Amino acid sequence: MNQQILEGKLGVLLPIQAQIGFGTTITHPHGVVIHPKAKIGKKCKIRQFTTIGTSKSSAPFDAIPEIGDNVFIGSNANIFGNITIGSNSVIGGGAVVTKSFPENSKLVGNPAKNLNKINVKSKIFAHRGAKSFAPENTLSAFKKAVESGADGIELDVHLSQDGFIVVMHDENVDRTTNGKGEIKELSLAEIKKLDAGSWFDEKFKDEKVPTLEEVLETLHELKFTGELNVELKTDKNNYEGIEEKVSGLLRSVKWTFTYIYSSFSFSSLEKMHSVEPSAEYAYIMENDTEKMLQAEKTPFISGIHPNVSWFLKNAEIIEKSTKKFRVWRTEDDQTLFKLFKENPEGIFTNDTKKAIELKKRM
């Protein structure tokens, strides 16, 4: 094998139909990717962060690696698809194995698991809509999220200068439109003149920045029956009266979907709760355990939305908690597999199609 590839910073990539001979040892600190149709001989050793097979539904039906008898596969491996693993193989701690787990093979270490024995209940939320396939936080992105079969949809809200509830992630329009300026300093009429799609792809050039009312009506018309997560973007700007406006709109109709309010701002959640005490609330956090503890002792907060890195490092704290955890920043296959093992209440992802497909394979 080419020594330069072995020493590369991105790890080892073994191509399709690779032949890995009897007794070969492959190890690399950045991981190994073994493509479909590869044949792994007897008594091989493959260590650390290996991905074997493919998570893509478009892969050929016969693109199935064959793994020989008595193979050792190291820790934190991902093994998925209808793969044949020879008898008496050993699969290291932290591995994820789906389907075709053979008799007499072993899962060793903690927390190695065979996901055939796990009922993955985590709900898949489309983060800012299906933002991998359409410009984020637009009607097109929300429509595609519904089409993908997402369990939930997440969006962000601000107030325009004239008091309309605008759906956008950033506090300004610079990144996701052809305009410039703070949302709080622009009227709705000015915002509606902007192109909110061309930055993503020219085919979305007529896309407009939606209001929350437009999004709710669209989801209702599409008969979306999942959960809508409305994030109040009040951690940087104090939008006077946004809590009353958002709550009034959500309570004005019996929608086909349920909804959750979330925010990085604890004070905004308190205001919202005083307006609508019967709603469900979640506190968003990066890596701040203090915020988690604050949420834990606040009865009206039922959910905590942490960064995935914090979630995966704090299993003991989470196990003791009575709150619902919905995790964000979760794009690569390995992270999704780890989360499926832990079964949080929800997973926010930019690519709902991939997440749903991986979940189905569990």
Q: Please report which helix (H) or strand (E) contains residue 40, including its range.
A: strand 39-40
What the block records as the tokens of 339 is 């989360």
**Residue 253 amino acid letter:** V
Amino acid in position 176: T
Helices (H) and strands (E) in the chain, counts: 11, 24
Q: Which residues are catalytic?
A: 127, 169
CA 362 to chain centre: 16
Contacts of 153 (CB under 8 A, 6+ apart): 125, 126, 129, 142, 145, 146, 219, 224, 226, 227, 228, 229
What one-character DSSP code corresponds to residue 193? T
β-strands 301-306, 324-327: how paired?
A: parallel
**H or E stretch covering 302:** strand 301-306
Query: Are the C-beta atoms of 87 and 69 separated by less than 8 Å?
Result: yes
> Rounded to 10 degrees, what is the CA torsion of 319, 321, 326, 332?
-30
